[in-house]
Amino acid sequence: MARALARGFTTAGLLAETQMVAADPVAAALAEFQRLLPGCSTERENAEVARRSDIMVLAVKPQQAKTALAELRGALGKDKLVISIVTGIRLQALAEGLGPCRLVRVMPNTPCLVGQSASAYCLGPGATQADAELVAQLLGSVGVAIQLDEKLLDAVTGLSGSGPAYVYLMIEALADGGVRLGLPREVALKLAAQTVKGAAEMVLTTGDHPGVLKDRVASPGGTTIAGLHVMENHGVRGALISAVEAAARRATELANG
């Protein structure tokens, strides 16, 4: 996710690679970061990145958060803004672990790499309106950003944070259906992906409810309603709702240790 955001910021022209510095305890991961962003400098210690930066993005796995926070404590003051994209780690825990820095918690998703992220963020202790505007600008350069109360971020994790994986599964399944009926794999995959992209754009552009748009495709006694009937019988709608709930519940579990 850190690589995706960094690439997204540079692709959008918001930051130059030379303005960024990165650290990672895994040498191979750090090497991959620098391969993708050759102008970015690197450090071996997280604390050194904090000292060199005005804004720091904390992008570690939840299981590594305690160690990362301990490494950074003492290197951050009120003059530093920390943007955390760590899943499930609450602002209170971040504040207790990091000390008196300004905090913003963000839940982005990987399509930021292609400028199509769906992100949500909430302000933490000491964060100013200027910080909120800066985070909105950063996230807005790689997609859509919405400010919410922190209590809703687990729901965001379950929906848009994990959501790309659900959509990839849907695209793969649609393409498999086309292949089963004789379409070449590459043709089926392209048609499936473009169909999902186009349908999503219709929702965003028209502002119409998805149910309304669905009904416009499903003519009486036609092919689409036959397919929708099968999907309802197999519980596709319920499975997606449950997937969002399960991912959000897991984010809550991670936050509670």
Mutual angle of helices 27-36 and 2-11, in 10-degree steps:
10
Chain segment 24-43, per-residue pLDDT in tens: 888 888 888 889 899 999 88
Give the Cα separation of 8 and 141 in Å (integer).
8
Pairing relationship of beta strands 55-58 and 143-147 according to DSSP bridges: unpaired
pLDDT at residue 153, rounded to an integer: 94
Per this entry, what is the length of the chain? 257
Chain segment 39-55, per-residue pLDDT in tens: 999 888 889 999 999 99
Dmax (CA) of the chain: 68
In the predicted model, is pLDDT for residue 73 greater than 90?
no
Residues 80/54, Cβ–Cβ less than 8 Å: yes
Chain segment 81-129, per-residue pLDDT in tens: 999 999 888 999 999 999 889 999 999 998 988 889 999 999 998 899 9
Distance (Å) of CA 67 to CA 64, 85, 86, 94, 174: 6, 16, 13, 12, 42
pLDDT at residue 170, rounded to an integer: 97
Give the Cα separation of 157 and 109 in Å (integer).
9
Residues 22/32, Cβ–Cβ less than 8 Å: no
Topology, domain 2-156: Rossmann fold (3.40.50)
Residue ranges of the chain assigned to CATH 3.40.50.720 = 2-156
Chain segment 143-182, per-residue pLDDT in tens: 999 999 999 999 999 999 999 999 999 999 999 999 999 9
Query: Angle 238-240-246 (CA atoms, 0-180°, nearest 5)?
Result: 100
In the predicted model, is pLDDT for residue 226 greater than 80?
yes
Residue ranges of the chain assigned to CATH 1.10.3730.10 = 163-255
- At the fourth CATH level, the homologous superfamily of domain 163-255 is ProC C-terminal domain-like (1.10.3730.10)
Mean pLDDT across 175-193: 98
Phi, psi dihedrals of residue 41, rounded to the nearest 5°: -90, 160
Q: What percent of the chain has pLDDT over 90?
A: 68
